[in-house]
Amino acid sequence: MKIGELAKQAGCPVETVRYYEREGLLHAAVRDEANNYRRYEHSHLERLTFIRRCRALDMTHGEIRTLLQARTEPDASCESINELIDAHLRHVQARITELKALETQLTELRGQCHAARATRDCGILHELDQRADVVWRSPSTPLSHVAGSHCSTEPHTHPRKNG
């Protein structure tokens, strides 16, 4: 199948397929000698679908590589897979805690302005000016690798559609 058909069957843009190839998550397709088109096999679709499911769970490329490698060793212990998922779950739980704290801070900030008025009288702007020395999120809290905190060049129009 051609790249467009692969992308369509996997439910992602063609650029996502190319991106995963560049990143080494998806094996490069064989080029058709007659027209130089990429030719994909069903195994590409299975692997791309697996990658997209992992991305839907906000797994990093490193985590996905580990899981892809584990798939090639069917008789190996799955202990490392369990550990990977446990670690990922801890990252998600930490991010949830961070987001709840952020929600509290934003709610408190929103409470500083109860009515529309001139911006010079805006309680939110005054609070942000007064609290310029306060870091809203603890600087000692490392960014986790779940939604919203990936530093990636991965193409995405929607975090779950591109995967």
Q: What is the pTM for the complete model shown?
A: 0.72
More confident residue, 50 or 117: 50
Confidence of residue 162 (pLDDT cuts 50, 70, 90): very low
Q: What is the pLDDT of residue 48?
A: 98
Query: Residues 98, 100, 105, 109: is their CA dihedral positive or negative?
Result: positive
To 10 degrees, what angle do helices 61-71 and 42-56 make?
130
Instruction: Find where tokens 């000016």 sit.
Output: 129
Residue range 3-71 in CATH 1.10.1660.10? yes
Question: Is pLDDT larger for residue 85 or for residue 114?
Answer: 85
Whole-number Å distance between alpha carbons of 12 and 21: 14
Q: What confidence score (pLDDT) does residue 133 get?
A: 54
Whole-number Å distance between alpha carbons of 161 and 163: 6
Q: Is the pLDDT of residue 65 over 90?
A: yes
Segment 38-45 mean pLDDT: 95
Whether the CA torsion 61, 63, 64, 65 is positive or negative: it is positive
- Please report the pLDDT score of residue 135 as a whole number: 55
Q: What is the pLDDT of residues 97-152, one digit of tens each?
A: 999 999 999 999 999 888 888 998 898 998 888 865 555 555 444 554 444 444 34
Q: Hey, where are the domains in the chain? A: 3-71, 81-130
